[in-house]
Structure 1
């Protein structure tokens, strides 16, 4: 598949809200929990296992080591959240989102039933159960079970308009391109041309 160069036909990037949640959950929260646990351990009456017999050194090494570990994990997840691509061709659709990829041949898509939706109005298409995915508020990527009980590959951010592409087999798609109407029109054009591009 050749890359799609039209920016309207690309997936919407994760927004600032998703980035903030990732930082809070992946970096701040583990450090806060560990700091609280250390404070309780120091206040307790039990014997502490200290590094070189020093409480300050133990605290610095514990929090510092955790900060390095969480910082590395946060950096990796933030980088993967930016891995968003959508390629359309006569062969079908190729979606890459964070750690996941889904390819669906054009003939397996029910384009006559595909539509642009607002999930606040079409709640049956909201992702409810993550079966193999990456999800934080404002970003969902991977395989999910929707409220309509269909297992679906999801690549959505926090915009309002999503593209629902039902398949005739095991693969449905719920995507958030920058211009969902343009993606749907391009897919229908490819299908009408018999997959000749």
Structure 2
């Protein structure tokens, strides 16, 4: 048990600016203003309806804002665990194709960009959760900085796309962890 604890390592996620939350807050404020305006102008609606709707919107906005800050990349024993917003992915290091892993800039490698959100949380410059790549492969993403993305293909054909603060350090740690288990 202590051998597993000795290999637990947390890798910092590349920071994502707080101003990106404007992509959440501005639409929520617009919805709240629209609800207030239509409720006050309608004879069929009562202002009491606002007593349920506006607090619900406030709580929803608070939960989505708090989720934005939930990001973690950690090596636990021989597993890579990624937590992001409402999503979590745990992958055995042996399931990674580290010989094909690389650090990429998505502006230069547009073919590697996740394009279809299947079950995720996203806004411009921030992707979290499950996506599809251009070539239809599944991808689990924690992307906060598209200029330094660690692209990790898995043996099952899917992909992990991560934005650690130091992607080369994470890749080196994964390669070092996989080295003793290699049979080649």
Q: TM-score range with shorter-chain normalisation?
A: 0.7 to 0.9
Deviation (angstroms), 1:179 = 0.8
Aligned partner (choices 57, 60, 74) of residue 87 of structure 1: 74
Q: Write the mapping of 1:113-192 to structure 2, written as runs, cut at 5 A.
A: 113-192=100-179
Q: In the superposition, relative to structure 1, how do residues 77 and 115 fare at CA in structure 2: closer, same or farther (>3 Å)?
A: same
Q: Write the mapping of 1:62-73 to structure 2, written as runs, cut at 5 A.
A: 62-63=49-50, 65-73=52-60
Using the alignment, how far apart are the partners of 1:124 and 1:36 within structure 2? 44
Task: Give the TM-score of the pair, scaled to structure 2.
Answer: 0.85
Kept in 2, the 8 Å contact 1:15–1:158? The answer is no
Using the alignment, how far apart are the partners of 1:32 and 1:84 within structure 2? 31
Kept in 2, the 8 Å contact 1:10–1:86? The answer is yes
Aligned counterpart, 1:49: 44
How big is each residue's C-alpha offset from its partner over 1:82-108, in whole Å with a ceiling of 9 and x where there is no partner? 111111144221111111111111111
Using the alignment, how far apart are the partners of 1:69 and 1:183 within structure 2? 40
Q: Which structure 2 residue ranges, 5 or more long, are not aligned?
A: none
Deviation (angstroms), 1:194 = 2.6
Higher relative contact order (CA 8 A, sep 6+): 1
Using the alignment, how far apart are the partners of 1:38 and 1:50 within structure 2? 5
Deviation (angstroms), 1:170 = 4.6
Q: CA RMSD in A?
A: 2.1
Kept in 2, the 8 Å contact 1:14–1:81? The answer is no
Using the alignment, how far apart are the partners of 2:38 and 2:106 within structure 1? 40
Task: Give the TM-score of the pair, scaled to structure 1.
Answer: 0.80
Aligned counterpart, 1:23: 25
Q: Which structure 1 residue ranges, 5 or more long, are not aligned?
A: 43-47, 52-57
Q: In the superposition, relative to structure 1, how do residues 22 and 13 fare at CA in structure 2: closer, same or farther (>3 Å)?
A: farther
The structure whose Rg is larger is: 1
Q: In the superposition, relative to structure 1, how do residues 22 and 158 fare at CA in structure 2: closer, same or farther (>3 Å)?
A: farther
